Chains A and B, each alone.
Chain A
Amino acid sequence: GIQVEQSPPDLILQEGANSTLRCNFSDSVNNLQWFHQNPWGQLINLFYIPSGTKQNGRLSATTVATERYSLLYISSSQTTDSGVYFCAVENYGGSQGNLIFGKGTKLSVKP
């Protein structure tokens, strides 16, 4: 099946710093989403981005489907950005909505 790899696994930032999280996937996808899991376990949908670029405030994401990767950019990080960021993909031709998750990037933002 499709493999999803995220890097780095852990990231520690000082408040105000910028960061880039990467998601590589091994096959064609028709759905890619980024999620943030807060310290209480809640998963929040950040971006639905099977291709192209989107921005939402301090966050932006780019997916280059032909090269099988996606990037999540966090600018001017805040302590509330801490948590785990997951990339999830739906394999092209797979069951609709069957998202395959990477293992996540654990982000800690220090004041």
Chain B
Amino acid sequence: DGGITQSPKYLFRKEGQNVTLSCEQNLNHDAMYWYRQDPGQGLRLIYYSQIVNDFQKGDIAEGYSVSREKKESFPLTVTSAQKNPTAFYLCASIGAEAFFGQGTRLTVV
């Protein structure tokens, strides 16, 4: 099945911890994106990568980091510097059209 897979579905973070969200795609797309969604809001861009070993900051990159070592994978790390990380995180793989993973719901405990 072609598609995009995010894991885990639910994630709990303690204060001061870094956590990493996984995003894998087998659509052979060059471009991959991470978005954050807060309740009742649209999606805001965190980071994006249009080619392996290159990535760019989006509108709300502070407190997040990414890597793009393989075309298929674009993991997002939520660092302890992100002061309000509780949100729904969506990864997208984009060719002509955008395809999204099922999302990861991150909660600070």
Chain A contacts to B: CB under 8 angstroms: 4, 33, 35, 40-45, 48, 86, 88, 95-99, 101-104
B interface residues (Cβ-Cβ under 8 A, vs A): 31, 33, 35, 37, 40-45, 48, 50, 56, 58, 88, 90, 92, 94, 96-100, 102-103, 105
For residue B97, which residues in chain A have a CB less than 8 angstroms away from its CB? 33, 45, 48
Contact A96 B98 (CB under 8 A): no
A96 touches B100 (CB 8 A): no
Verify B41–A97 contact, CB threshold 8 A.
no
Contacts of A102 in B (CB 8 A): 42
How far, in angstroms, from A95 to B59 measured CA to CA in the complex?
13
Question: In the assembly, what is the distance between CA of A101 and CA of B41, in Å?
Answer: 10
Contact, CB under 8 Å: B42 / A43: no
Complex Cα–Cα for A86 and B37 (A): 12
- State the Cβ distance, A85 to closest chain B Cβ, in Å: 11
Q: List 11 A-B contacts (CB under 8 A).
A: A35-B100, A41-B88, A45-B98, A45-B100, A48-B96, A88-B43, A95-B48, A96-B50, A98-B33, A98-B48, A99-B92
Q: How far is B43's CA from A42's CA once the two chains are assembled, in angstroms?
A: 13
